[in-house]
């Protein structure tokens, strides 16, 4: 990371705090800010996970909700437990902004029938922030993957 870069002051403290993630964090921050032209880009420390994430609003559509990016190097070892911890920390930090209020039950209405069980399909909150995993290579190329809690069937993944 070059401290002479104009965006360095915005990301340098977190890069120093998490040196194992520093290069990937800086590169993802610069890519999202300049190449992808995200708006309101900021670094968020997730001290409970010993890492930082980048949060911002994608360029398109204009009223896109904020998204979160977890940058890591290609050769950085990780685990499902670590990724789950990041998902949980982001969900706690940025809860749904407009969750529906519970409906008042009509005592005279029949009880609703229980929904069928769907064991392998995670429930995704439409208001929860989109979380991406940014995998950064030494040559500064970045591949973004959508992170989801649980197993997602191929038919649920947009092409």
pLDDT tens-digit series, residues 100-122: 333 333 334 444 433 333 333 34
Percent of the chain at pLDDT above 70?
A: 76
For residue 157, say if its preceding peptide bond is cis, omega within 30 degrees of 0: no
Rounded to two decimals, the pTM is: 0.75
pLDDT at 17: 96
Q: Which domains does the chain have, with CATH numbers?
A: 8-97+124-147 (3.40.1350.10)
CA distances from 147 to 92, 136, 152, 157 (A): 16, 16, 10, 11
Higher-confidence residue of 74 and 105: namely: 74
Confidence category of residue 123, pLDDT binned at 50, 70, 90: very low
Q: Rounded to whole angstroms, how far apart are CA atoms 18 and 65?
A: 27
Q: Rounded to whole angstroms, how far apart are CA atoms 40 and 146?
A: 20
């Amino acid at each position: 990371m070059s401290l002479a870069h104009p965006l360095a002051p915005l990301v340098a403290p977190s890069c120093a705090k998490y040196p194992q993630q520093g290069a990937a964090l800086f590169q993802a921050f610069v890519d999202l800010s300049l190449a992808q032209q995200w708006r309101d880009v900021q670094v968020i420390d997730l001290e409970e996970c010993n890492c930082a994430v980048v949060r911002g609003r994608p360029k398109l559509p204009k009223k896109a909700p904020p998204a979160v990016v977890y940058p890591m190097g290609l050769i950085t070892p990780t685990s499902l437990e670590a990724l789950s911890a990041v998902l949980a920390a982001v969900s706690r930090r940025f809860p749904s902004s407009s969750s529906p209020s519970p409906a008042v039950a009509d005592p005279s209405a029949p009880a609703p029938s229980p929904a069928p069980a769907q064991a392998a399909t995670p429930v995704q909150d439409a208001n929860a922030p989109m979380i991406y995993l940014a995998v950064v290579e030494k040559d500064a190329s970045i591949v973004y993957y959508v992170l989801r809690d649980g197993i997602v069937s191929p038919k649920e993944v947009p092409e």
